[in-house]
Amino acid sequence: MTGREVPAELESFAAEVGPDGPVAVVGGRTHWEVGGRCSEDTRLVRAPAGIRDFDPADMTIRVGAGTSVEELDAVLAEVGQRANLPLVSGATVGGVLAVGRDDVHAMGRGRLRDALLEAVYVAEDGRLVKVGGPTVKNVSGFDLCRLLVGSLGTLGLVGEVVLRTWPRPAFQQWLAGRCDPAELRRRLFWPSSILWDGQTAWVHLEGYESDVESEAELARSLGCTPVDGPPPLPAHRVPAGALEAEGFQDSYLVQFGTGTAYVSEPGPVFDPDPAVAALHHRLKSEFDPRNRLNPGRDPLVAL
Amino acid sequence: MGFSRADPLVKDLRRVLSSDRVRAAPLERSIMGRDASIFEGGQAGPVCFPISTEEVQGCVDAARRHGRAVVPRGAGTGLAGGAVPLEEPVVVVTTKMNRLLSVDADRRMAWVQPGMINLDLSRATAPYGLHFAPDPSSQQVCSLGGNVGTNAGGPHCLAHGVTSAHVLAVEVVLMSGEAVVLGDPDGWTPGLDLRGAYVGSEGMMGVTTAIAVRLTPDPPAVQTLLLAFDSVDAAAQTVSAVIADGIVPSAIEMMDKNIIWAVENFVGAGFPLDAAAVVIVEVDGLPGGVAEEADRVAELAVERGGSVRRAADDEERALLWKGRKSAFGAIAQIKPNYYLHDTVVPRTRLAEVMNQVYEIVEEHNLQVMNVFHAGDGNLHPLLLYDRREPGVMDRVHAAGSAIIEASLAVGGVLSGEHGIGIEKRDFMPLMFTEADLDAQGRLRRAFDPNEMANPGKVLPTGASCADVNALDKVPEGVWG
């Protein structure tokens, strides 16, 4: 059995979580009530912060889960790179991964769930568990990393992660107009974002200068004009399919390519397929039989 | 043990499927006892060829009533023994479930059955200007269900990610017999990412019966470069330099001298026979970026002593790729058998580990060829041997273990795309602690509490220090 060297910060994080009592990991509190509130008697802990290991030439970075996404972004920007995490002001890396919301550019840059290569978490019995691996490609064992993204810390409290990084393109441009978002998607090659509120479509282009210019020209021919940026995302998330089915009267913003829409008032909670709900229940029983990790929060109602 | 027509399990299965689709004769069971790995001696029970989700459910229910495990199987092209049946399970072969169910070009997705061949999907969606990005070397024969099972990769996964990033949803028959859809064809549904946990589970959580795949638009521009070097070091350093320069080509593949000779003789792709290594780099996207990146890649290669040939047209590009993808077939000219390894190392450590691989192979008096996904750091050393030579398998396994250890020592991982299966099951403790493996077991049991789906794979049983390298723990006769 491998005897892994564990950084002191992770050891103390594990010791702080300990083996007993309700405990929740707190990040930047930017989405603290998504999926429910933690019960009153829950002890709060913070994951270690800081860049642990970064060789820009590998295009992977190891960071404490308590690191702010803004700090991570600044470090990566210095070498012309970025990670596919949403740049939520005040949020932590562990926090955005636990909440699982995609960045607004996920359609072109990649989904948040694919950003995580390795994670070390404290399990419900207080032991440190590593899942995944530090390389950009890895199928050694089951893919627990995917399961942690969006799990709201209910399966384990993440202390450290390895993320894949990507080159940061030199040119970018937002455009918007009363045009058909499906047409934009059909005609543009690789927009990083298309948003639609039912009337106006926003599109983001990035890459090499001549390509951004030619794609922007195409977008203009479809009715878009340059704008400073996207509209703010409304606070609550709903599946894009549900939006169509429910005929929302409320204002909404659909994020193409992610199956997600955002609405300003919480949408109805949908009953999941009983077999899907049963799998959630069994996963929780396997990973946290005493319901001590982030008690009160439930990924199934995390909208 | 034999399975006669009168066997109660066979009779039960024949109530679910027409009798010609439940095979129990010794020859058919023996064919299904193997996959494309080196493992022999697997023991299949009755072999079923369902054509619908309901029939798969019927097979699983019958197996459960008789206390038999279930081994899902696609085209059988796996290289880690993941589909090798142990202890006569019911083998559920999905090759007859090979239809494209629907294509939604606007939403860039399609529903497919698991037995559909990987390349057939991209051919079917070509009229829409879309393709399925993961392209394993076996893409002409491997099935999409198998791709989901192993979370398969391929040369073009460098920029766009492996299978998991291209699977939106899967319909799965659990060992309870229930069919459930994990994930959502639009891309998101509230709850845990069960889809992500299932992809790559090597048949140990259920049987895949339908897959919602993400389709990728065909790039408007493509350039393919063939870089030739007079040392493996220079080639590996160029690969690292391209990545470090902030370029993510759609593919970076490397081939060393031995494989260049074998392929050139076999395909005539125009690879230079005096090179110590060649690197195929493909950049695609919009024309401006493609031109800039191709020029920059060429510069980086020339700075490291390389020569550059650009594919002039689609025909030449196709020939270069034919050379790359025919590599494994070409080997038969040299030795009758090969053992293909699959580890990943950080991309900055490529040159160093390549040199170690050559040393290891020489120490064990074997021949090696290297043809691999260099841009991902995904090594594929092919150890060549003739199994009729007494004692050669011991040397092959010893060299394989040493390559794995060398990869892990620099921060690498056990497998990049082939999976763990039987092959690397007992190496798992080299990468994971007891607590790590316990977590993987918990995930598996949440899906399959009685461990009836493809038992004996991936997770070492009762893992402890003593089990490391204890390859004889694999059931007798399975290692060829």
Residue whose token pair is 């041997």: B385
Preferred mutation among A11, A81, A135 to probe B, highest tally of B CBs within 10 A: A135
Strands B47-48, A260-263: pairing kind: unpaired
Which residues in chain B are closer than 8 Å to A210, comparing Cβ atoms? 287-288
Structure-model confidence comparison of residues B445 and A2, the more confident one: B445
* Average pLDDT value over all residues in chain B: 93
Q: What is the pLDDT of residues B378-412, one digit of tens each?
A: 999 999 999 999 999 999 999 999 999 999 999 99
Contact at CB, B432 and A80, closer than 8 angstroms: no
Residue whose token pair is 């049983």: B461
Domain count, chain A: 2
**Cβ-nearest to B286 among A129, A189, A299:** A189
Q: If pLDDT is split at 50, 70 and 90, which confidence band does B468 have?
A: very low
- Nearest chain A residue to B447 by CA distance is A279
Rounded Cα gap, residues A127 and A180, in angstroms: 52
Task: Please tell me the predicted confidence (pLDDT) of residue B291.
Answer: 97
- Give the domain range for residue A185: 171-263
Does residue A134 sit in the same domain as residue A280? yes
Which of B458, B398, B400 lies closest to B431 in space, CA to CA? B458
Task: Please tell me the predicted confidence (pLDDT) of residue A183.
Answer: 96
Beta bridge partners of A46: none
Task: Indicate whether A302 belongs to any domain.
Answer: no
CB B78 within 8 A of CB B43: no
List Cβ neighbours of A240 (8 Å cut-off, separation of 6 or more). A254, A255, A258, A259, A260, A261, B186, B187, B188
Q: If pLDDT is split at 50, 70 and 90, which confidence band does B472 have?
A: very low
Closest CA–CA distance from residue B99 to any residue of chain A (Å): 25
Task: Please tell me the predicted confidence (pLDDT) of residue B475.
Answer: 47
Q: Hey, what are B103's tokens?
A: 């294509």
Task: Please tell me the predicted confidence (pLDDT) of residue B328.
Answer: 78
Task: Indicate whether A137 belongs to any domain.
Answer: yes
Identity of residue B154: G
Closest CA–CA distance from residue A82 to any residue of chain B (Å): 11
Residue whose token pair is 């083996």: A19
Contact pairs from chain A to chain B, CB under 8 Å: 265
Task: Please tell me the predicted confidence (pLDDT) of residue A2.
Answer: 55
Does residue A141 sit in the same domain as residue A228? no
Task: Indicate whether A268 belongs to any domain.
Answer: no
Helix axes A209-221, B287-303, angle to 10 degrees: 170
Q: If pLDDT is split at 50, 70 and 90, which confidence band does B255 have?
A: very high
Task: Indicate whether A37 belongs to any domain.
Answer: yes
- Tell me the whole-structure pTM to 2 decimals: 0.95
Which of B68, B29, B39 lies closest to B475 in space, CA to CA? B39
Task: Please tell me the predicted confidence (pLDDT) of residue A242.
Answer: 81
CB A151 within 8 A of CB B162: no
Rounded Cα gap, residues B59 and B53, in angstroms: 10
Lowest mean pLDDT among A234-238, B11-15, B208-212, B414-418: A234-238
Task: Indicate whether A195 belongs to any domain.
Answer: yes
B356 alpha carbon, distance to own chain's centre: 24
Task: Indicate whether A269 belongs to any domain.
Answer: no
Does residue A59 sit in the same domain as residue A132? yes
Does residue A95 sit in the same domain as residue A226? no
Q: What proportion of chain B, given as a percentage, has pLDDT over 70? A: 96
Does residue A209 sit in the same domain as residue A181? yes
pLDDT along chain A (303 residues), means of 10: 78 97 96 90 97 94 98 97 96 98 96 98 98 96 98 98 96 97 96 96 98 98 97 91 69 93 82 95 98 96 83
Task: Indicate whether A243 belongs to any domain.
Answer: yes
Strands B70-73, B90-93: pairing kind: parallel
Does residue A140 sit in the same domain as residue A227? no
Closest CA–CA distance from residue A215 to any residue of chain B (Å): 9
Three-state DSSP class for residue B196 = helix
The answer on pLDDT for B51 being more than 60 is yes
Rounded Cα gap, residues B479 and B387, in angstroms: 12
Contact at CB, B184 and A239, closer than 8 angstroms: yes
Contact at CB, B192 and A136, closer than 8 angstroms: no
Structure-model confidence comparison of residues A26 and B267, the more confident one: A26
The answer on pLDDT for B1 being more than 70 is no
Does residue A186 sit in the same domain as residue A124? no
Does residue A78 sit in the same domain as residue A53? yes
Which of A251, A246, A244 lies closest to A268 in space, CA to CA? A246
Task: Please tell me the predicted confidence (pLDDT) of residue A247.
Answer: 60
Query: Per-residue pLDDT averaged across B74-84, rounded?
Result: 95
Does residue A102 sit in the same domain as residue A203? no
What CATH code is carried by the domain that includes residue A129? 3.30.465.10
Does residue A14 sit in the same domain as residue A128? yes
CB B376 within 8 A of CB B157: yes
φ, ψ at A217 (rounded to 5°): -60, -45
Rounded Cα gap, residues A74 and A83, in angstroms: 11
Does residue A198 sit in the same domain as residue A241? yes
Rounded Cα gap, residues A87 and B303, in angstroms: 38
Q: Hey, what are A228's tokens?
A: 């400073």
Task: Indicate whether A299 belongs to any domain.
Answer: no
Does residue A256 sit in the same domain as residue A153? no
- Nearest chain B residue to A237 by CA distance is B190
What domains are there in chain B, each with its CATH number?
8-93 (3.30.43.10), 100-217 (3.30.465.10), 221-330 (3.30.70.3450), 334-473 (3.30.70.2740)
Query: Per-residue pLDDT averaged across B310-334, rounded?
Result: 88
Closest CA–CA distance from residue A79 to any residue of chain B (Å): 9
- Nearest chain B residue to A283 by CA distance is B446
Q: What is the pLDDT of residues B93-151, one digit of tens each?
A: 999 999 999 999 999 999 999 999 999 999 999 999 999 999 998 999 999 999 999 99
Strands across the sheet containing B367-372: B307-310, B221-229, B277-285, B251-256, B367-372, B381-385, B337-340
Concatenate the DSSP letters of all residues of A114-142 into one string: GTEEEEEEE-TTS-EEEEE-SSSS--SS-
CB B373 within 8 A of CB B155: yes
Lowest mean pLDDT among A48-52, B20-24, B348-352: B348-352
Which residues in chain B are closer than 8 Å to A282, comparing Cβ atoms? 445-447, 449
A141: left (phi over 0), alpha (psi -120 to 50) or beta: left
ipTM: 0.97
Q: What is the pLDDT of residues A273-286, one digit of tens each?
A: 999 999 999 999 99
The answer on pLDDT for B465 being more than 50 is no
**Cβ-nearest to B348 among A57, A146, A286:** A57
First to last CA, chain B: 21
DSSP class of A264: S
CB contact residues (below 8 A), chain A span 186-215, against chain B = 186, 189-190, 207-211, 214-215
Which residues in chain B are closer than 8 Å to A241, comparing Cβ atoms? 184, 186
Rounded Cα gap, residues B280 and A127, in angstroms: 45
Rounded Cα gap, residues B65 and B48, in angstroms: 16
Three state DSSP letters for B13-41: HHHHCCHHHEECCHHHHHHCCCCCCCECC
- Number of DSSP helices (H) and strands (E) in chain A, helices first: 9, 15
Would an 8 Å CB–CB cutoff place A301 in contact with chain B?
A: yes
**Cβ-nearest to B445 among A56, A131, A286:** A286
Three-state DSSP class for residue B282 = strand
Task: Please tell me the predicted confidence (pLDDT) of residue A248.
Answer: 62
